[in-house]
Amino acid sequence: MIKGETYIFKVEKAEPDKDFYLLSLYEVEKGRYPLYFLLEKFHSIKEHKPGDIILAAYLGEFIGKYPKVSQKVPSHIINVLKLTIPEEIRKRYGIFFSRAAALRKSHISKVGVWGEAGLLSVSQIVEILKPYLPDLKKHVPIPFFIPAGVNDIPEKEKSLPLSFVINALLPSPIENIVDYLYEPHLNKITIYLKEQDMPRFLWKDYVNIKLAAKLTKLAYVVVNVESNKEIVVDPYGVASNIKESYNPIIEANTHLLYK
């Protein structure tokens, strides 16, 4: 099996008092691969029951003798997007996926859309992909598509386009940003907001900012211009001279997408 690749599994056991599901590879000759796999519940997109057929990515990690799989790692999200959205559609509209982010305690993911479609608005991208959303939501956290521009940034490049770094905060009202300071050499961006807009950008448990930071692999510093308080989200520890902080400023409700 290849690390990061997506495979079809059958749920064998789903016990309420356990923090994992026991899976087997679906319709695969016995003896060729490990007999059982574990899907930890925080790596699952929803509750499963015995007999369910699901997609998940092989992690190349083990709990005891059991290999681990996940429905939330970026490679799985991108794999499912490519499996679900026909190549003909992706070519017709110039759609490329190369970045995705999800969180253990969230049912939402963010996906960077590059190519010609990367110049469209979120609503235009959703309109193109709308026929495929029901199938996508069966196998990945609910995807929110982020317009990312024409070209993904090669690894050798120093920085991401500012437009993508700002767009990563969508669906928050990015037009309400008072000011910003993008410092790619420090791997961070500072966003200045009015107090009334803080909940609309943070969401409960800072889900929105955390997803943006994971998608861009940057630190996001969010400053309340009225109180001068700030929070820092740096999930990869990439930024220079800052300390991550999760001190609550305002509690917010998670947005519901694609109802």
114 class by beta-carbon count within 10 Å (0-12 exposed, 13-18 middle, 19+ buried): buried
pLDDT over 90 at 221, yes or no: yes
153 secondary structure, DSSP code: P
Structure tokens at 157: 């490049």
Q: Looking at 19-23, 109-113, 125-129, 158-162, which range is the least confident one? A: 158-162
- The pLDDT score that the predictor gives to residue 256 is 30
- The H or E element containing residue 128 is helix 122-129
pLDDT at 254 over 90: no
Q: Which residues contact 16 (CB under 8 A, 6 or more apart)?
A: none
pTM assigned to the model:
0.86
pLDDT of residue 242: 61
Question: Are 111 and 77 spatial neighbours (Cβ–Cβ below 8 Å)?
Answer: yes
Question: pLDDT for 138-148, tens place per residue?
Answer: 999 999 999 98
For the sheet with 108-114, list strands across it: 96-102, 108-114, 142-147
Could you give the 3-state DSSP secondary structure of residue 188? strand
Element (H, E) at 145: strand 142-147
Share above pLDDT 70 across residues of the chain, in percent, rounded to a whole number: 86
Asked if 184 and 197 touch (Cβ cutoff 8 Å), the reply is: no
Q: What is the pLDDT of residue 207?
A: 94
Q: CA 33: distance to chain centroid? A: 29
Average pLDDT rounded to a whole number, residues 165-183: 95
- Report the mean per-residue pLDDT for the chain: 87
* DSSP string for 10-58: EEEE--TTSSEEEEEETT--TTSS-S-EEEEGGG-SS---TT-EEEEEE
Q: Which domains, ranges and CATH numbers included, belong to the chain?
A: 6-70 (2.40.50), 72-152 (3.30.300), 161-253 (3.30.300.20)
Mean pLDDT, to the nearest integer, of 55-77? 95
Radius of gyration of the chain (CA): 19
Per-residue pLDDT at 258 exceeds 80: no
Residue 236 has pLDDT above 80, yes or no: yes
Higher-pLDDT residue of 117 and 39 is 39
Mean pLDDT of 106-111: 94
pLDDT-derived band at 259, boundaries 50, 70, 90: very low
